[in-house]
Chains A and B, each alone.
Chain A
Amino acid sequence: MGVPAFFRWLSRKYPSIIVHCVEEKGKECNGVRIPVDTTKPNPNEVEFDNLYLDMNGIIHPCTHPEDKPAPKNEDEMMVAIFEYIDRLFNIVRPRRVLYMAIDGVAPRAKMNQQRSRRFRASKEGVELVEEKNRMREEIIQRGGYLPPEEIKERFDSNCITPGTEFMDNLAHCLRYYVADRLSNDPGWRNVTVFLSDASVPGEGEHKIMDFVRRQRAQPNHDPNTHHCLCGADADLIMLGLATHEPNFTIIREEFKPNKPRPCALCGQMGHEIKDCQGTAREKQGQHDEFADTMPAAEQEFIFIRLCVLREYLARELTMASLPFPFDFERSVDDWVFMCFFVGNDFLPHLPSLEIREGAIDRLVNIYKDVVHKTGGYLTQNGYVNLERVEMIMQAVGVAEDNIFKKRKEDDESFKRRMKEKRKRMKAEQQGPAYLTTGQFAPHALGRRDRPEPVQNARHQAYDMRMQSREQHNKDAAQSLKAMIRNGGNSSAGPSDSSDSRGVKRKAEDSDSEPEPEDNVRLWEEGWKQRYYKTKFDVEVTDEDFRKKVVKSYVEGLCWVLRYYYQGCASWKWYFPFHYAPFASDFKDIKDMFTEFEKETKPFKPLEQLMGVFPAASGNFLPQTWRNLMTSPVSSIIDFYPDDFAIDLNGKKYAWQGVALLPFVDERRLRAALADVYPDLTPEEVKRNSLGSDIMFVGKSHPLSDFIHELYRAETQEGTEIPVELCHGIQGTLNLDDDPILPDKPVRSPIPMLRDISQNSAIGVKFKDPHYADGFVFKAVLLPGAKIPNKVLKPGDWEKGNREPWRPQLGFNPNRQQAHLDQSGFRALGHSLNRNQHGGGQYSNTPPPSNYQHGNYRPPHSGGHQPFPHSRQNSLLGAPPSFHQPQYPRQQQQYGRGGHGWDRTMQSQQSAYQQNMSRGRGGGGGGGGGGGGYQQRYDHRRDDWHDRRDDRRDNRGQQHQGYSSGRGYPPPPPSRRYNWN
C-alpha cells in the first residue's frame, strides 16, 4: 500500500525493528575505482541467503530522481539502475538467490489505482508546465531573472508500465547486466539469479511472494532461509509477515520526509514554484564549487527486521484465558487482515479508520475485546471468516460517530494551535519598537565579539536622539508634501503610515487558507445520509444500493487477503466504487461472498496499457490503438476523459483525494481491440505476449553443467531442478529461445558498456513449482524453523536482578565494540582538522605552520577516515552510543596533548598541567585562542560536531571567563570531563 503514514506509524510504535545498514563503500585509488569484495563476510554481521528486488522501487528513482539531476537518456538510466542494484548487492550480499521482479500486468483490482495514478501524473505534468509558464511570465514582467528554459524531453514516467518499449529494453539490459556480473564479479559466483521481467504477469512483490510461497510449500525448502526483500511499499511488511518465515528482513531507503526539492522554475533550493522570485542564484560554497551538489546526503538504507516486529506483535496480541488455544501465527494473520481496513492498493479505506488517528491500535483493542465472543480467529490461510469480521465491524461501527466528532475536534484544535503559533512567530519576528544603536546596540551573548567598554556615552546618546528626531522629521515632511500635492481635494488626510493604501491584510493572516468545502460534515448529525448522497448520489433509504457497496467491499477484503496468502484468486475482480461504506453498514455479511470466478486470465500487456493510460500517453501505443483513445467515433472513448474531478474527501492535498475516473468495461475494451489487433507489427506482437521467468547461474554453480546439458540435448519438455544442486530450490526448467550461454559473447545493449566476450553465465526459463488446483498454502511456521534470538528487553528483566539491559542495535547480539587506538585518533584528528585547533586552544604554543595549511583541505579518502556523518561511525564497528561516554575524554586528552612534547609533560604531571593551562590561559593566549577557535568553526557543523562543539564551547567560555577575570563566576566544577 502506498500509505507512507503506515510505515511512519510502524517505525514510531516499534522502533527496534529498524536497523541501519552498514555499507562498505568502494575505494578509489588514483582515479581507479576498486570494487568492494562481496565475498567477504557481510559487515552487517548477518548473512542473508536470498535477496529479492521489487524492481519498480528501483526503476522509478533511477529514471526520474527527486534529489539529483535526471539522467540524460535511457542508457544513463540503465546504468543508474545497475549501480543501484550493485549497491544493494553490496549491502545485502546474498549467498544463494537474487530475485529481480519487475511489475508485470497487474490484476484488474489494481488497475483502477494504476489508472488513477497515470491519469494524475499526466495531468500534473501538463499543469506544471502551465503553472511554470504563468509564473515565468509574471517573474519576467517583474524584472526577475530566470535561467533559460531547458529544452529537454520530459521523461514520461508512465512508460514504466508493462508492454512499453522501455520495459522491453530494460529486460534486455538486465539480462546483460546479470550475465556480466555472473561472469566477472566473484561475489555473484555462486548466486542463482532469477529475473522476472514485465512480460510475466503479476505485480513485482507478489511475484516474489509467489516464489517464496511455492518454494516453502515443497519438502526440500530450507526452513531457515534468511530472506531479504528490497522495496519501500508498506505492504511488503504485510507480505513478509504473511510468509511466516522466521528470518525475513526488508531493506528500503531511509524515509526522510519533507526532503527539500529545487524550485521547478529556477532550479534553486529553498522555495517552491509559487514563491519563486527569480533572484540571481546564490553561490554554493566560496567559489561556487558545490554548484551541482545537493545539500542532502546520499540516500541511506535501513533494514526492517520482521522477526523483531513479530516479537512486538507477540507482546501486543497475546491474550490470556481465551476460550480456545492461543496461536500467535494465527493472530499475526488477523493483524495483517485488520491493517487492510486502514488502507491498501485495492480498496479505499473505511472513512472512520485513519492510520494517523491510531486506527490500528483501535482495531487491535476491539479485536482483543471481541475475540472472546467470536470463538476463533478472523482468518485462516488467507480465507476470511465473515461472521467474525462482522462482529469486529459492528464494534467499530458503534464508535464511528464518536470518531468523526473527535476528528473534527482534533482538527479544530490543531488549527487553533497553528494559528497561535503563527501569531507567536510573528510577534517574535517583529522586534521592539525602538532599538538602541551603536555601542549600545544589543548583542547576543556568547558571540565572538566581547563587550567593549563604552566610550563617550554622551555623544552616542546624542546621536541616537538625533537620529530618531530626523526620522520623525522625514515622516512629517512626507505627509506634508502629500497634503500639498493633493491640493486639498482629497478628503483623506495624511496618515501616519507613509503608504496611504493602508496595509492590506494578507490572506495568511485571516483565517488561514481557504478550506475545501466539505459537504459531508461527518461530525454532524445525519452524516451517513449526507455521505451517501454526496459520494454515491443515492438516498440513504436506498438499502439495495448500500448493500451492493458493502458486498463489493466484503468481496474486496476476501480478495486482498487471498492475494497475500494464496496468490491472485481472480484477475478480473475489482472494487467498482470510488468510496468505501461505513463500518456500521457491515450487517449480515456472512453470505455476501462465496467464491471468485475461476480460470480468469490476466490482460495482455498492450491491453493493460489501453486500460491504464490516459490519451496523453498514447504515444506508447500503436497508431490505430491510439486512435481509440481520442476519436469521437471510438467505441471506448468514455475510458479516456481529458479532465476529471478530484474529490478531496476531507483531505488537504489533491494527491490524497479521490480521482473520479470512470471504470473500464472489460467487454467493450476487448471488443474494440479485436478490430485493431491485426495492426500490430511482429515486434509489438512479441511485446504483447506473456513471457517467462528466467534463471541464470554462473559457471561454478553446480546447476551450470546440468543446464548446459539440457541445451546440448535440446530437451523440449520441462525438467525439474535436481534437489541437491540448488539449496533445495525447486522448479521447472525450459529452454530459452535466445539463451545466454557460456562462451557465447553477450552483446551490450548500452553503447557505453562493453560486450562480454568471456561470458560464463547460462540462462534458462524457470517456472515455479506447480500445485494442484485448490491447493491451500499453509500460513504456519515450518517444522525445523528456528526462531531467531529475542531482541526486545524481556518484561521481567529487572525482576531477574541481572546485569543492566544492553539493547541490541544490529543483527548480532554480541557485537564487538570497536575502539580506536592512539593512531586512530591521530588520523581522526588530522582529517577532522579541528583537533589541532583544539590543541591550539589549550596548548599555548601556536600550531606548526604546516598544520595551518592543512586546514581547509578536504580530508583524504585514503589514509584518513572522513567523518562526514554521525552514523558513519558504525564503519568502525562502534554503536552510536559509544562515543558519548568515551570519546570526548580520549579526544580531549589528545586535544590537550596534541603535540608530542606536550603529551609527555601531561602524562607525568597531568594535575599540574591542568592548573598550568588555566593559569597560562589567563596569562594571555588562552582567551584569544578560544575566540579564534570559535570563529573558525561557527559555520557548517553537523549534529555530531555540534554536540561536541557545544561542550567545547562551554569549556572555551569557562576558560575565557576565568582567564579574562572580568567578574564572571569561576567555572563550575567539571563533572563530565575527567581532567586527570
Chain B
Amino acid sequence: MAEERSGEDIVSEYLGQNPQLAQWVDTFRGYCESNKQWFARREFILRNMEAFPTVEPGVPSSSLDRLLSLSMVWANHIFLGCSYPQAVMEKIKEMGEGIVVQDAPVHKTRKDEVMSKGKRSATAEGDIDSCVKRAKCGPNELDSRPAGRTATRPVSQKAGPPPQAPAEHQPFFNRLYKAVAWKLVSAGGFGPNLDHFEILRSCVESCKQTLTCVFVPLKDITGLPAGRTQKEGHVCEIRCQTVYMGTGYGRDEAAARAMASKEALKAFQGRKVTVKICRRRYKGKDVEDLMLFDEQPRSQGFPPALSYPFQDEQLDEGSL
C-alpha cells in the first residue's frame, strides 16, 4: 500500500514540476474514465514513455498511439476484465510492472462463467481442470500434455513420483476400494458381462475424482514384438490421480478402454489395494511409476506405460 501511495505521489509530483506535460497527458483521458482509472493509466503512460523514444509530448504520432493503445489494453485488462492475445498480454504485463492498483474490480471472463456453469457438480478447481484435459487428451496430444499440471504436489527436479506419494494416495484408494466393492455387489459380482468402465468411472466419481484415459493407436507404439500381425486398434491406459490402474487393447477406443477398466477392476478383487512405486518401461526407458496392486504382488510383466505424469516439462519436451 505504501508503495502505491508513493507511486502516485511521484507521478503527481513529477507532473507538478511539468505543468505542460500534465496538460498534454490529460488530453488522453477518456470521458468515461474515473479518477482512479485515469490516474493508474496515466502512470502507465508516463512510466513507459521512455520505451517509445519517438513519442514527443504535444506531437501526435503513430508511436504515441501505440503507447496509448497499450495503456488501454492494460486498463481494460485491469478494470474491465478483458483479455488479449498472448503476446499482447505479456507485453503489458511487463510494461505495467510496479504500478499498483488498489482493490481492482474482479471480473469473470465469459470462459470462466461457462466453465463454472457447465460443470455444476464439479467439486473443485482440479476437477474442472481434469475434465477439460480429458476432453483434450486425444492420442495426438498425448505427448504435449503438460504433465506438471496433473501433479498436485510440487514437481521434484528429478523425474518420477516423490517417495511419499504412495502414502498420500493410499487413503483415496481405500475409499475407492469400498465403493467398487459395493458397486460390484449391487451389479451381481465381477464378471465378463459388466460395463467395466462405467462401474469404475461411477465409483471414482463418487469418490470425487475423475479418471484419466490415454489412448494410443497400436501402430504408434514402437518396440512391439516384430512378429505381431495386429496393426489395427488402440491401447488405452487408465490412471486416477496419476496412479496407474490398468492397460487394455481393443478394436476401437471404447473397447480398449473397457478392457483397461476390466484390468483395473481386477486389482479390486482382493482383500485390499495398495499404491506402490515400481519400475517399468516408458518410451524405451526404465522409469519409476505409481501403480495400484492387490495384496499379492503379481508377476513382473507390467505393460509399458503410455503416459508419464511425473516428468517436468523440459524432460517431456526433450523426449519428443
B5 at the interface (CB under 8 A from A): no
State in angstroms the CA–CA spacing of A500 and B206 once bound together.
11
Instruction: Using known A-B contacts A134-B135, A137-B135, A638-B69, determine if residue A143 contacts B88 with beta carbons closer than 8 Å.
Output: no
Q: Which of chain B's residues has its CB closest to A615's CB?
A: B85
Q: Which of chain A's residues has its CB closest to B134's CB?
A: A137
Specify which chain B residues have a CB less than 8 angstroms from the CB of A802 in the assembled complex: none
A500:B135 contact, CB within 8 angstroms: no
Point out the residue from A632, A644, A671 that lies within 8 Å of B82, measured CB to CB. Answer: A644
Point out the residue from B69, B111, B186 that lies within 8 Å of A635, measured CB to CB. Answer: B69
A122-139, CB < 8 A from B: 123, 127, 131, 133-134, 137-138
Q: Mark A547-558, 1 if CB is under 8 A from B, else 0.
A: 010001000000
Specify which chain A residues have a CB less than 8 angstroms from the CB of B18 in the assembled complex: none
Specify which chain B residues have a CB less than 8 angstroms from the CB of A486 in the assembled complex: 181
Instruction: Using known A-B contacts A274-B118, A500-B186, A637-B73, determine if residue A632 contacts B80 with beta carbons closer than 8 Å.
Output: no
State in angstroms the CA–CA spacing of A481 and B188 once bound together.
9
State in angstroms the CA–CA spacing of A632 and B70 once bound together.
9
State in angstroms the CA–CA spacing of A490 and B174 once bound together.
11
Interchain pairs with CB closer than 8 A, number: 161
A642-678, CB < 8 A from B: 642-647, 654, 660-663, 665, 668, 671-672, 675
A478 at the interface (CB under 8 A from B): yes
Specify which chain A residues have a CB less than 8 angstroms from the CB of B105 in the assembled complex: 534, 537
Instruction: Using known A-B contacts A123-B110, A644-B109, determine if residue A487 contacts B62 with beta carbons closer than 8 Å.
Output: no
B80:A500 contact, CB within 8 angstroms: no
State in angstroms the CA–CA spacing of A632 and B85 once bound together.
8
B172 at the interface (CB under 8 A from A): no
Instruction: Using known A-B contacts A500-B185, A638-B69, determine if residue A646 contacts B84 with beta carbons closer than 8 Å.
Output: no
State in angstroms the CA–CA spacing of A632 and B121 once bound together.
39
B85:A536 contact, CB within 8 angstroms: no
B208 to chain A, nearest CB (A): 11
A672:B81 contact, CB within 8 angstroms: no
Q: Mark B90-130, 1 if CB is under 8 A from A, else 0.
A: 01000000000000010111110110001011000000000
Instruction: Using known A-B contacts A641-B84, A661-B82, determine if residue A507 contacts B32 with beta carbons closer than 8 Å.
Output: no
Interface centre among B81, B114, B182 (most CB of A within 10 A): B182
B52-73, CB < 8 A from A: 60, 62, 65-66, 68-70, 72-73
Instruction: Using known A-B contacts A141-B254, A538-B34, A671-B65, determine if residue A643 contacts B206 with beta carbons closer than 8 Å.
Output: no
Point out the residue from A487, A647, A665 that lies within 8 Å of B107, measured CB to CB. Answer: A647
Point out the residue from A499, A513, A537, A642 that lies within 8 Å of B36, measured CB to CB. Answer: A537
B65:A635 contact, CB within 8 angstroms: yes
B274 to chain A, nearest CB (A): 15
Specify which chain A residues have a CB less than 8 angstroms from the CB of B60 in the assembled complex: 671
B234 at the interface (CB under 8 A from A): no
B25 at the interface (CB under 8 A from A): no
B7 to chain A, nearest CB (A): 18
A624 to chain B, nearest CB (A): 14
Specify which chain A residues have a CB less than 8 angstroms from the CB of B243 in the assembled complex: none
A632:B206 contact, CB within 8 angstroms: no
State in angstroms the CA–CA spacing of A490 and B185 once bound together.
13
B178 at the interface (CB under 8 A from A): yes
Point out the residue from B65, B82, B181, B197 that lies within 8 Å of A641, measured CB to CB. Answer: B82
A485:B181 contact, CB within 8 angstroms: yes
Q: Which of chain A's residues has its CB closest to B257's CB?
A: A141
Instruction: Using known A-B contacts A274-B118, A672-B65, determine if residue A630 contacts B107 with beta carbons closer than 8 Å.
Output: no
A644:B254 contact, CB within 8 angstroms: no
A501 at the interface (CB under 8 A from B): yes
A634 at the interface (CB under 8 A from B): yes
Specify which chain B residues have a CB less than 8 angstroms from the CB of A635 in the assembled complex: 62, 65-66, 68-69
B183:A142 contact, CB within 8 angstroms: no
A140 at the interface (CB under 8 A from B): yes
A643:B186 contact, CB within 8 angstroms: no
State in angstroms the CA–CA spacing of A641 and B85 once bound together.
7
B83 at the interface (CB under 8 A from A): yes
Q: Mark A372-413, 1 if CB is under 8 A from B, else 0.
A: 000000000000000000000000000000000000000000
B76:A641 contact, CB within 8 angstroms: yes
B179 at the interface (CB under 8 A from A): yes
State in angstroms the CA–CA spacing of A589 and B79 once bound together.
29
B246 to chain A, nearest CB (A): 16
Specify which chain B residues have a CB less than 8 angstroms from the CB of A274 in the assembled complex: 118
B91:A641 contact, CB within 8 angstroms: no
B271:A487 contact, CB within 8 angstroms: yes
Specify which chain B residues have a CB less than 8 angstroms from the CB of A642 in the assembled complex: 83-85
B62:A632 contact, CB within 8 angstroms: no
A301 at the interface (CB under 8 A from B): no
B284 at the interface (CB under 8 A from A): no
A445 at the interface (CB under 8 A from B): no
Specify which chain B residues have a CB less than 8 angstroms from the CB of A262 in the assembled complex: none
A84 at the interface (CB under 8 A from B): no
Point out the residue from A498, A507, A576, A630 that lies within 8 Å of B30, measured CB to CB. Answer: A576
Interface centre among B84, B118, B121, B253 (most CB of A within 10 A): B84
A645:B32 contact, CB within 8 angstroms: no
Specify which chain A residues have a CB less than 8 angstroms from the CB of B91 in the assembled complex: 632
State in angstroms the CA–CA spacing of A545 and B37 once bound together.
12
B213 at the interface (CB under 8 A from A): yes
B299 at the interface (CB under 8 A from A): no
Specify which chain A residues have a CB less than 8 angstroms from the CB of B82 in the assembled complex: 641, 643-645, 660-662
Instruction: Using known A-B contacts A632-B85, A635-B69, A663-B32, determine if residue A675 contacts B62 with beta carbons closer than 8 Å.
Output: yes
Q: Which of chain B's residues has its CB closest to A545's CB?
A: B34
State in angstroms the CA–CA spacing of A275 and B179 once bound together.
26
B176-195, CB < 8 A from A: 178-179, 181-183, 185-186, 189, 195
A542:B34 contact, CB within 8 angstroms: yes
Specify which chain A residues have a CB less than 8 angstroms from the CB of B62 in the assembled complex: 635, 671-672, 675
Interface centre among A274, A542, A633 (most CB of B within 10 A): A633
Instruction: Using known A-B contacts A137-B134, A501-B182, A660-B107, determine if residue A637 contacts B84 with beta carbons closer than 8 Å.
Output: yes
B181:A643 contact, CB within 8 angstroms: no
Point out the residue from B65, B186, B189, B213 that lies within 8 Å of A141, measured CB to CB. Answer: B213
B239 to chain A, nearest CB (A): 15
A784 at the interface (CB under 8 A from B): no
Specify which chain B residues have a CB less than 8 angstroms from the CB of A537 in the assembled complex: 34, 36-37, 79, 105
Q: Which of chain A's residues has its CB closest to B207's CB?
A: A501
B198 at the interface (CB under 8 A from A): yes
A482:B213 contact, CB within 8 angstroms: no
B35 at the interface (CB under 8 A from A): yes
Point out the residue from B81, B178, B186 that lies within 8 Å of A499, measured CB to CB. Answer: B186
Q: Mark B295-306, 1 if CB is under 8 A from A, else 0.
A: 000000000000
State in angstroms the CA–CA spacing of A141 and B132 once bound together.
14
Q: Which of chain B's residues has its CB closest to A134's CB?
A: B135
A638:B72 contact, CB within 8 angstroms: yes
B120:A514 contact, CB within 8 angstroms: yes
Specify which chain A residues have a CB less than 8 angstroms from the CB of B111 in the assembled complex: 127, 643
State in angstroms the CA–CA spacing of A660 and B60 once bound together.
29
What are 30 A-B contacts defined by CB distance under 8 Å?
Answer: A137-B134, A141-B257, A478-B186, A482-B182, A490-B178, A492-B178, A500-B182, A504-B206, A542-B35, A552-B31, A576-B31, A635-B69, A637-B69, A637-B84, A638-B72, A638-B73, A640-B84, A641-B83, A641-B84, A642-B83, A643-B109, A643-B110, A646-B108, A646-B110, A660-B80, A660-B82, A662-B76, A663-B32, A671-B65, A672-B62
Closest CB pairs A-B (n = 9): A638-B72, A645-B81, A641-B82, A500-B182, A645-B107, A635-B65, A482-B185, A576-B32, A643-B83
The residues of A with any CB-CB pair to B shorter than 8 Å are 123, 127, 131, 133-134, 137-138, 140-143, 274, 478, 481-482, 485-487, 489-490, 492, 498-501, 504, 507, 513-514, 534, 536-538, 542, 545, 548, 552, 576-577, 615, 630, 632-638, 640-647, 654, 660-663, 665, 668, 671-672, 675
> Beyond A644-B82, A665-B68: 18 further Cβ-contacts under 8 Å?
A134-B132, A138-B135, A142-B198, A482-B185, A501-B183, A537-B36, A537-B105, A552-B31, A576-B32, A632-B87, A634-B66, A635-B69, A636-B69, A637-B70, A646-B110, A660-B82, A661-B82, A668-B68
